[in-house]
Structure 1
Amino acid sequence: MIRKITVLYKMIPKAHSSCLLALLLSVSSYTISSPLGTSLTPTGANANGSSDGKIPAWISSKEEADKRQQTLEQDVPLFTINGSNYKEHQQHLTQGQIALFEQYPSTFEMPIYQSKRLHRIPEWLKEATIKNDTDAKLIDDGNGITNVWPGIPFPTPDTALEVLWNHLIAWRSISAKGTFVEATIHPEQPFYVIKTNVEIAMPYYQPDRAAVTDNIILTYYLTRILSPSRIAGGATLVHDSMNPKMGQRQSWIYNVSQRRVRRLPFLGYDTPNMNSDDIRVVDEVNLFNGSPDRYNWELKGKKNVYIPYNSKVLAQSTKDFESLLTPHHLKTEPTRYELHRVWELEATIKQDQHHIYTQRKLYLDEDSWIALIAEQYDHTDSLWRVSISHSQYMPELPGVMKVADVFHDLHSKSYFVQSLIEDNGRWIEFSNTLPDKSHFNPVGLRRHTTR
């Protein structure tokens, strides 16, 4: 790639550099052969399987991937990891998973299935990703990006922040609508379920846009509470900036009892999420979101981990959401784990910064770049919370999307869960066009709500 060849050019002796410079000037930056789509998948993952065959090669055919997705519910586990045998498998487990086995030895289990690598992206996104591999750059000490096309920004990353930005801008559709339910489960206490309509739009992934060299809106996020009746009609609107230091996140809320829209103070970092009884904070949406500037980030490399994947049965089980909510964790039978390669990131709080988590670890699926496991540590450097994002390949996107996020608090033995559910025969509605900007205007926030 041109970006990496240019670095090489700067390193070689001046007496020999003219030959390489002539070569660079004689070709277009986009005609150089790219490993993307050959030895690497179009998103930058290793296309080959593992040498022992436990991790398969990436399935390049959409028809074959779609066919395998349709039969996932017919699969049976290879084996199940539980409190009695987890030590035999700990080389492929994270510290958070081990902590769940140790905390709930008689109930927490992980059914392990044959791995299937089904993730893919649209053709236009592949082309943009190839361009980004030569053009995209970090700015503001890694807290923003520039010169990016509508694709994965750093498909062949060199640094922790490049890997993190691939997660922050992971492909999740141009726009989508769905219904989610959420609940907080405390030991031996009753719980109630909140049902919410969610709309997401990502101007970043507008296919025909030019490379962005300034700041743009990364994501519009609009939620409307449908039930319970005492809070139904409330709504929240968020505008997320692609470069947080150039444009801070903006948030508004419609309070149904006051019947007015008001601007919220900055909503980010460790601001508690009230619906979760403070088990989850704002920057744990998608397991991590927002500016990375409060932490020093370290890239630990890749490892093979049993991660939640191809969770089609779990998604179907949310039709009866409350039956999933067993004490301490979700019912384990519908869950599915597979062995995949993941990128491991470690974040340590900077000396001049504050956050309730002094250390964090993220495990990102190499195919989709989505974080599927996160671990958060308290001020005594003890593991405090473990977050698990169950995902599924959705052919109509196409791509991998989360179907349930579960946030475990090891101190209180409680958990908060958000799940996508079927609503009137639909799971999620994807669109290849962006809604008009006025749809996400705070002036019209009240108009979107119903009592």
Structure 2
Amino acid sequence: MTLIPVAVSLLMAGSALAKVPAAEADKLGKELTCVGAEKAGTKDGVPEFTGKWLGTPPGVQYTQHVGQHPVDPYASEKPVLTITAENQAQYASKLSDGQKALFAKFPKTFRMEIYPGHRDFRYPDSVCEMAKKNALNAEVTNGGLTITGAVRGAIPFPIPKDGQEALMNNMFPFRAYNEDITRDIANVQSDGTISWGRGHNRNLDVINLPASVGKPLDGTMAYSRSLVLLPEREKGALSVSAEPVDFSKGKRLAWNYDPGTRRVRQLPEYGFDQPLGGTGGKMTIDSDRLFNGSPERYNWKLLGKREMYIPANAYKIHGKNVKYADLLKPGVPNPEFIRWELRRVWAVEGKLKEGFRHLYGKRVLFLDEDTGQAVMSDFYDARGTLWQYAFINYYYAFDLNAWHAGTSFYFDLNSGGYVGYNLFQERDKGPILNKGDMTPAMFTPESARSAGQ
């Protein structure tokens, strides 16, 4: 793994090293983008940041906030390179352990189509303003469970100095404040047979509400609500949850409505390595978006920055014309639909603390420097053996002028199966983003009880 080194003093878990000097924060919007990415490209092909588009690009026909499937502004482009099992050794420094494992396990079917790189989209000016404030004032405290001094409306650490700060960027990005989606889950077995799940999900990200921009980063982070539509035996089950900002003061709370008993009960614990429904044990609750929830069980270390091939500008895979039968193939999804580009990422390692339990003894997250959000992860078991690999197909959503997590894939490197998660290609509508029609009252135990009657 080739990494741009980070000073040893900045790698110590538990440190509070934010509040960067004003001279360093002044680089934001200059040689750095307003959220801390290097603007310059590289000799190997990382594109220069242009930021020429805010929202829908010229010539693209798109209606916001109605669930239109993403429209690809780069639809005419062709791959410039194909990485296969035969030539992957040439690009080893830009591949994760999980990607290399897929080449080894599926040498005939896994390939990576590399496209021209583009960094053409930018955030609204308000995000830039809040990111600058956070660079000067935010810090991680209480053993990595609390952020103090940060405001809402941007990542808290545009210039991360340790693993905890980088992780907090993944947990508190600028993203959709409303999401309403009916999505499919495909548990694909090694022989290609598929078990299906489907749910109607609503998410309210309180800290990104327009009226909250610039206010202190505290209180409730987000609410979610999930109604099971498939499989039939679980149809009608409904869960609601609430997520805190500060895990030193509270924990994720969740309630479940059981259509069989018509009762709502609070779950004693919801998160960590509990299996995520419909995934056949290939995903844990805290592996959604690659990591979520309390970071308390791991020591987090910033390994450094590196160039990697990651999914980027992932419009093609989310097109209305994409059929599951064409996408979901045995072993790996059809490579024709996945767009890889060369980017710079922050590599963050989480090692399980002594005395704590989790299925993953180690997890390595790769965060896109342009967003702070994790796009890929390698997962290791308690013995330190690589077990799973996952990636998210992010795209810039014109509804919110920011990046949105689309379809993701989670690979079990032992069984040869995988999960296609957050699929909406065959649904009439894609994600309905930032419509502004949700309130916290829609996510209470009482609302779950009423919805089930």
TM range (shorter): 0.7 to 0.9
**2:21 is matched with which residue?**
5
**2:65 is matched with which residue?**
none
Structure-2 separation of matches of 1:318 and 1:97: 27
When residues 424 and 65 of structure 1 are mapped into structure 2, their CA distance, relative to the original with a 3 A threshold, is closer
Structure-1 separation of matches of 2:122 and 2:452: 35
**Matched residue SS, 2:288:** helix
Following superposition, the deviation at residue 419 of structure 1 comes to: 2.6
**2:393 is matched with which residue?**
390
Counterpart AA for 2:48: A
**Matched residue SS, 1:133:** helix
Counterpart AA for 2:367: L
Q: In percent, how many aligned pairs have the same letter?
A: 28
The equivalent position to 2:238 in structure 1, one of 226, 235, 239, is: 235
Following superposition, the deviation at residue 407 of structure 1 comes to: 0.8
**Matched residue SS, 2:20:** helix
Following superposition, the deviation at residue 317 of structure 1 comes to: 6.2
**2:363 is matched with which residue?**
360
RMSD: 2.5
**2:338 is matched with which residue?**
335
Contact kept in structure 2, 1:204 and 1:218, CA below 8 Å: yes
Contact kept in structure 2, 1:119 and 1:400, CA below 8 Å: no
**1:56 is matched with which residue?**
47
Structure-1 separation of matches of 2:56 and 2:117: 12
**2:143 is matched with which residue?**
141
Counterpart AA for 1:288: F
Structure-2 separation of matches of 1:128 and 1:200: 23
Larger radius of gyration: 1
**1:259 is matched with which residue?**
262
**2:13 is matched with which residue?**
none
Consecutive aligned runs of 4 or more in structure 1 exceeding 6 Å deviation:
none
**Matched residue SS, 1:287:** coil
Following superposition, the deviation at residue 245 of structure 1 comes to: 2.1
Contact kept in structure 1, 2:18 and 2:138, CA below 8 Å: no
Structure-2 separation of matches of 1:190 and 1:403: 23
The equivalent position to 1:276 in structure 2, one of 279, 287, 305, is: 279
The equivalent position to 2:78 in structure 1, one of 76, 79, 85, is: 76
Q: Give the TM-score of the pair, scaled to structure 2.
A: 0.88
C-alpha deviations, 1:1-34, integer Å up to 9, x for none?
993338x9xxxxxxxxxxxxxxxxxxxxxxx972
When residues 436 and 389 of structure 1 are mapped into structure 2, their CA distance, relative to the original with a 3 A threshold, is same
Structure-2 separation of matches of 1:294 and 1:98: 28
1:276-425 map, 5 Å: 276-316=279-319, 319-422=322-425, 425=428
1:120-135 map, 5 Å: 120-135=122-137
The equivalent position to 2:249 in structure 1, one of 239, 246, 249, is: 246
C-alpha deviations, 1:48-84, integer Å up to 9, x for none?
211x161111122225982497432211101211111
Structure-2 separation of matches of 1:65 and 1:443: 39
The equivalent position to 1:169 in structure 2, one of 161, 172, 195, is: 172
C-alpha deviations, 1:329-372, integer Å up to 9, x for none?
21111111000000001111112222111111010000011111
Larger RCO, structures 1/2 (Cα 8 Å, 6+ apart): 2
Contact kept in structure 1, 2:72 and 2:315, CA below 8 Å: no
**Matched residue SS, 2:323:** helix
Say whether residues 1:41 and 2:41 are aligned partners.
no
Counterpart AA for 1:54: G
Structure-1 separation of matches of 2:193 and 2:137: 53
Structure-1 separation of matches of 2:278 and 2:428: 26
Structure-1 separation of matches of 2:321 and 2:376: 20
Structure-2 separation of matches of 1:102 and 1:261: 47
**2:182 is matched with which residue?**
179
Following superposition, the deviation at residue 122 of structure 1 comes to: 2.5
Contact kept in structure 2, 1:124 and 1:207, CA below 8 Å: no
Following superposition, the deviation at residue 375 of structure 1 comes to: 0.7
Of 103-112 and 120-129, the range deviating more from structure 2: 120-129
Say whether residues 1:429 and 2:432 are aligned partners.
yes
Structure 1 unaligned residues grouped into runs of 5+:
9-31
The equivalent position to 2:57 in structure 1, one of 66, 75, 87, is: 66
Counterpart AA for 2:204: A
Counterpart AA for 1:412: S
**Matched residue SS, 2:240:** strand
When residues 95 and 318 of structure 1 are mapped into structure 2, their CA distance, relative to the original with a 3 A threshold, is farther
Counterpart AA for 1:367: D
**1:24 is matched with which residue?**
none
**Matched residue SS, 1:47:** coil
**Matched residue SS, 2:211:** coil
Following superposition, the deviation at residue 425 of structure 1 comes to: 4.8
Number of aligned pairs?
Answer: 425
C-alpha deviations, 1:179-212, integer Å up to 9, x for none?
2110111123632322212111111113333766
Following superposition, the deviation at residue 231 of structure 1 comes to: 2.6
**2:93 is matched with which residue?**
91
Of 66-75 and 260-269, the range deviating more from structure 2: 66-75
Structure-1 separation of matches of 2:91 and 2:190: 28
When residues 48 and 449 of structure 1 are mapped into structure 2, their CA distance, relative to the original with a 3 A threshold, is farther
Following superposition, the deviation at residue 223 of structure 1 comes to: 1.3
Contact kept in structure 2, 1:179 and 1:198, CA below 8 Å: yes
Of 419-428 and 123-132, the range deviating more from structure 2: 419-428
Say whether residues 1:113 and 2:104 are aligned partners.
no
When residues 444 and 298 of structure 1 are mapped into structure 2, their CA distance, relative to the original with a 3 A threshold, is same
Say whether residues 1:225 and 2:232 are aligned partners.
no
